[in-house]
Structure 1
Amino acid sequence: MRLSLYQKLAVSLAVIFCFICALVYSWSKQLELNSKHHGEQNLHLALAEHLVQDNPLIKEGVYDYEALENLFHTLMLLGPAFEFYFVDENGKILTYSAEPGKVKRTHINLTPLKHLIANPSATPVYGDNPRNPDQQKIFSVAPVFNNNTLQGYLYVIIGGEAYDTSLNHIKSNDSLLLAAIWLGSALVFLFIAMLILLRFFTNPIQRLAKDVSKIEAANYSLNDTKLSIYSTQKSNEVHSLSRTIRAMLTRINEQFKALEQGDKQRKELLTHLSHDLRTPLASLQGFLEVLNQSGDKLSAQEQQEYLQVSLNNCGQLKQLIEQIFELAHLENGEISINKETFNLGELIYDCIAKFSLAVEKKGINLSVEPEICDFPVIADIAKLERVLSNLIDNAIRHTPRDGSIAVRVKRGDDNQLFVQVSDTGVGIKHEELNAIFDPHYQASNSNKAGRQQGGLGLAICRGLLKLMDSEINVQSELGKGTMFSFNLPQKKA
């Protein structure tokens, strides 16, 4: 049978409570008995000595044991709580007053007697009980001499058999029984109160366990799971733990959703990439089949055109595959950054030089502001060149003939430089600005050339800049142009 936490604690508490009650009761009874014996033995410590000194029969030496037995009988009638024995110097019991068979011992141990005579303040001291071999009693003792010769000891048991019988009878009467019932009732009430208090403290833990079970049954989804409301008191550790677990489960639920969304995006990305890979492959295959089957019927110019288209498709495939691998490395954190100090202006002009033929062919004005762009920066030169090339290429593809593209560098606060790449192209819709950095997202303004890029360029730019502790931003107005900007740390003078 499986027990709940409360039941385990209750059983443990009951066992401990009973053990403590028994221990306290035993200790209190022992303390009470010890105090009682101490008081009684001190009170009657000189009893045996007085009897020896006041009774001529004993004082002058004991020879008439029958007369002494009669004396003991008379004394026991006057004091039923006492038993009188005369023992010799070796501990042998010589005479007493008792019914036949009552006295079980023939000898007693004299060591306690001698100890009490030598140290009267060492009470309580216990000696052998002649009527019970397994019991010891407090006593009074006095030596008996005859002409300075030790004859034996007068041994007086305090609280003898008659006293014990009377005391046991008193303990069994109704008043003591009633007192015992009240004491037991008080202990039971205390135990029940402790169980109720324990229930109060363990109830939040049980509620928490039920909440966790509900969440587990709901496959760790918090959407349709109604959880308990816990107090906001910081002093209550159980409620604090409950709130922490709930916050942790909420965080895990959010991460599950993020993973599901990421998995969905990856599936969509694979779908789009397969389409973009299939398009140039199909075109490449078609032109190669034409060249293979009808090569003799085609003129040299047609063959050259078909080969050029095939080469262009191969170039698109190569670029798309490289972008896929680059984006995968960025997402997996497999690209390292090698920061160094270099001149930003030189890098910008090198990037512009690569696109001089493309802008000249489209009649686009590509400029740098300021023209003398002498700014030392700290970054990864290869990664920054990749970012600038992607942004300039993206601007060229979306800028119509006779448009303009500007690369500007501006100083900012905290020793920062801001690089802007702006164009007078078609622009981007406002509702699409937050999505253009997602892998393979194609804005509605994408032209045919843009569509062939696979939609990975801006995602790669954002990933590379993030590795360099920079952030890319975009501003755009449909039909008027777009501006991308990012920050770079400038080397201190």
Structure 2
Amino acid sequence: MWRPRLCFYQRLSVSLVTVFFGVITLFAVASSYLQESVTREGEQRLHLDLAHHLVHDNPLLKTGVYDYDALKNLFHTLMLLGPSFEFYFVDTQGRILTKSAETAEVLRKQIDLKPVLELLEDSSSLPLYGTDPKSQNRDKIFSAAPVYNGDKLQGYLYVIIGGAQYDSIVDSLKKNKGIQQFAMVIVAGTLFLFFALMLLFRVFTLPLKRLSDDMDLFRNSGFNLASSGVSLLPWRDDSRNEVQRLGHSFNEMLKHIDLQWEQIKSTDAQRRTLLADLSHDLRTPLANLQGYVETLAIKGESLGAQERKTFIAISLKNLHNLKRLIDQIFELAYLESGHINLKKENFLLTELLHDIAAKFKIKATEKNISLTVQAEQINTYVSADIEKLERVLTNLLENAIRHTPKNGTIKINVSTVQDNIQISVVDSGVGIANEELAYIFNARYQASNTERDANSHVGLGLAISQKLVDVLGSSLTVESELGCGTTFSFSLSPVKN
């Protein structure tokens, strides 16, 4: 089944206008009912004693009713004097015995005495409605008084207030041109208010529609801000208008999603490149290892002892390179996963630095490189994960030794910077070009002047070091000048006494 689709503005307009007209209608009905009730109560209170005075002041009623024709003439005369009244005399059962109206006009021969008795007993609760003899289903306000014949109740004088003639005059007044014009003014004013509300709703909901259109454009473009055609309207975040603040939040969200999307694409491209490079790096030592092992297996005893020893040594070297590469891949993947546990402890920093430097003394001596530890304070305690800190310094020192020529220097400096302990690995090596500094922490990136040696290096050391330093709550920075050496630095928090 087809149903018309209404936009938010249309649904809001229709809903509010419907509610408005409903409230107006309810108010008009309630107001009309209240006005009529108040009017009827006022008229009934004003003429409440009319029947009582007629009974006590008129000889035909004062001593009892004997002549119904004379009473009918009296009622007719009274009706001429008061056209808004109708007079009836009923017996104790409510049957109409005589009346002021013509017989053809009276549709009921009996009235309900319950309202009459209720009025005579208690007249405080008004308006009180009784039977209208000229209508089959309508009641009217009335005045009533008992009529006695001596001490015997003979019946009741029943006076309708606002009879048929009165109703006829009121109905004709309602059809008066002035009243019709007033009604037309009310209708015109209501229509004007309707269109004014529609216009206001349009103004209020237009920004929301624009925001919704922008959302649709962004979604239909595959969440690509550049090709979506979204206008990014200048929404204000300090406005008291909720739509303005929503629009500003939406713009910020679009920019954030677009930035994340670009980062995801960049990361994906880097991942593909990294996988391709690592596949190549894994294939090379694995192919070499396979070749030498197959040669050993095929030739077996035909190889000389020295040749076999050489093949085994080369195979072990490739195996070591392969294991080193796999370990670094797993380490980088572990760090990027974010599920890292720190085992912090307090220790003497200079003692750890001297121990690490001692491990590299032999390598440094082979290249006649001076490796020293220089600390402003030798009794400085820090709180960190020793294993991860040692891994960072090991990577940095391996890089420093590899890129520092013979007779060079490497220093591990410890200094106090803004209440933190700064550790710097300073070498006098080949340095890094300024345009390459921004990329050296990327996985698999190697500077153009990287020193080559007999071992295989896959360019993951600095990427791992940077992530480890991040885990330690610091950041790894680099300063370098081509041909003048490089300095890597990071900070740790000292243990306060």
1:244 aligns with 2:249: yes
Gaps of 5+ in 1: none
Question: SS at the partner of 1:448?
Answer: coil
Cα deviations by residue, 1:92-131 (Å, 9 ceiling, x for unpaired): 2211133333222222222322333333444322111112
Indicate if the aligned counterparts of 2:421 and 2:494 stay in contact, CA closer than 8 A: yes
8 Å CA contact retained: 2:235, 2:247: no
Residue 5 (structure 1) aligned to one of 5, 8, 24: 8
Match runs of 1:404-443 below 5 Å: 404-414=409-419, 416-443=420-447
How many Å apart are 1:264 and its aligned residue?
0.7
**Change in CA separation of 1:38 and 1:170 when aligned onto 2, cut-off 3 Å:** same
- Give the aligned partner of residue 83 of structure 1: 86
The residue aligned with 1:188 is: 191
CA, structure 1 residues 355+121, in 2 after alignment: closer, same or farther (shift >3 Å)? closer
Deviations 1:134-176 (A, max 9, x none): 1111112222223233222111111111221222122123222
The within-5 A match list for 1:265-414 is 265-288=270-293, 291=296, 300-370=305-375, 373-414=378-419
**Letter in structure 2 aligned against 1:440:** R
Aligned counterpart for 2:181 among listed residues 178, 182, 190 = 178
What is the TM-score of this pair, normalised by structure 1? 0.94
Partner secondary structure for residue 138 of structure 2: strand
Contact 1:397 1:450 in 2 (8 A): no
Stretch deviating more after TM superposition (142-151 or 154-163) = 142-151
Q: 1:26 aligns with which of 26, 29, 32?
A: 29
Instruction: Work out the CA distance in 1 between the residues paired with 2:335 and 2:389.
Output: 14
Query: In the superposition, relative to structure 1, how do residues 231 and 397 fare at CA in structure 2: closer, same or farther (>3 Å)?
Result: closer
* SS of alignment partner, residue 463 of structure 2: helix
Query: Contact between 2:232 and 2:251, CA under 8 Å: does it hold in 1?
Result: no
1:416-458 deviation per Cα after TM superposition (whole angstroms, max 9, x unaligned): 2111211111111111112111111111111223982100111
Which residue in 2 is equivalent to 1:129?
A: 132
1:227 aligns with 2:206: no
Partner of 2:265: 260
Equivalent-residue separation in structure 1 for 2:53 and 2:304 (angstroms) = 154
Is 1:205 matched with 2:213? no
State whether structure 2 residue 463 is matched by structure 1 residue 459.
yes
Give the letter for the 2:433 counterpart: K
1:300 offset after TM fit, Å?
Answer: 4.1
1:101 aligns with 2:111: no
Given the superposition, is the C-alpha separation of residues 313 and 423 from structure 1 closer, same or farther in structure 2, using an over 3 Å criterion?
Answer: same
Q: Which amino acid aligns with 1:58?
A: L
The CA RMSD measured in Å over matched residues stands at: 2.1
Q: Output the CA distance in 1 between the equivalents of 2:133 and 2:292.
A: 129
Unaligned runs of 5+ in 2: none
The equivalent of 2:147 in structure 1 is 144
Whether the 8 Å contact between 2:44 and 2:161 is mirrored in structure 1 is yes
Moved more, 330-339 or 223-232: 223-232
Per-residue CA shift, 1:332-368, capped at 9, x if unaligned? 0233210111222222222222222222222212112
Amino acid at match of 1:65: Y
Checking the alignment, whether the CA contact within 8 Å between 2:92 and 2:155 is kept in structure 1 is: yes
In structure 2, the residue matched to 1:486 is 490
| Maintained 8 Å contact 1:207/1:228 | no
> Do 2:376 and 2:414's aligned partners in 1 also have CA atoms closer than 8 Å?
no
* Gap change, CA 1:359 and 1:305, over 3 Å in 2: farther
Aligned partners of 1:425 and 1:480 also within 8 Å: yes
TM-superposed deviation, 1:482: 1.2
- After TM superposition, the structure 1 stretch with the greater mean CA deviation from structure 2, 68-77 or 376-385, is 68-77
* Cα distance in structure 1, aligned partners of 2:256 and 2:142: 79
- Corresponding position of 2:40: 37
- Residue 396 of structure 1 aligns with an amino acid whose one-letter code is I
Q: Which AA in structure 2 matches 1:421? A: V
